[in-house]
């Protein structure tokens, strides 16, 4: 029986890959770790954690920011979440605050996950929702898709 890839391992492999590519890690989060940065929606009301997100990785290189959601499998709600963040720009204030010490021109939003035969077609069907997809089995990392040259 094949060992199940954990989201934490996907995130760690992508972090290592980004660092080897001279990306500066702004923040990262592992499932249930509490290490990430909470971003509040622009229209935040008094409810403490309503409409908050915790990106799995945000990194910067040469005035480009990459925003990752990572999973251990294909998960459609994350593709939809990334699309909503991109299209609605509803976390722009929190992102601007988080990135205030960096010079950047553009933010790209994407997903990191292990791409297998089982989920490859699901990823392709939803590719228009994201700027990039990174394939990681928790050890190796490969760019599966990028709308514009990012990596």
pLDDT at position 49 is 63
Q: Which domains does the chain have, with CATH numbers?
A: 7-31+51-146 (3.40.1350)
Please state, in angstroms and rounded to a whole number, the distance separating the CA atoms of residues 128 and 148: 12
pLDDT tens digit at each of 151 positions of the chain? 455 789 999 999 999 999 999 999 999 998 777 778 999 899 766 566 667 899 999 999 999 999 999 999 999 999 999 999 999 999 999 999 999 999 999 999 999 999 998 899 999 999 999 999 999 999 999 999 999 999 9
Please state, in angstroms and rounded to a whole number, the distance separating the CA atoms of residues 128 and 68: 16
* Dihedral sign from CA coordinates of 106, 127, 147, 13: positive
Please state, in angstroms and rounded to a whole number, the distance separating the CA atoms of residues 112 and 6: 12
pLDDT at position 1 is 42
pLDDT at position 17 is 98
| H or E stretch covering 7 | helix 7-20
Helix then strand then coil, in percent of the chain rounded to 5, is 30, 25, 45
What Cα–Cα distance (Å) separates residue 123 from each residue in 84, 118, 147?
17, 10, 14
Q: 147: which 2 tokens?
A: 């709308």
pLDDT at position 133 is 98
């Amino acid at each position: 029986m094949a060992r199940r890839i954990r989201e934490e391992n996907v995130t760690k492999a992508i972090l290592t890959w980004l660092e080897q590519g001279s990306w500066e890690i702004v923040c990262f989060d592992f499932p249930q770790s509490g290490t990430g940065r909470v971003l509040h929606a622009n229209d935040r009301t008094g409810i403490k954690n309503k409409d908050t997100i915790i990106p799995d990785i945000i990194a910067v290189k040469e005035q480009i920011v990459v925003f990752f959601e990572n999973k251990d499998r294909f998960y459609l709600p994350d593709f939809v979440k990334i699309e909503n963040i991109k299209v609605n720009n509803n976390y722009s204030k929190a992102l601007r605050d988080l990135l205030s010490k960096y010079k950047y021109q553009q933010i790209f939003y994407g997903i990191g996950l292990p791409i297998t035969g089982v989920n490859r077609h699901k990823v392709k069907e939803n590719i228009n929702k994201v700027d990039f997809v990174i394939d990681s089995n928790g050890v190796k990392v490969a760019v599966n898709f990028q709308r514009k040259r990012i990596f």
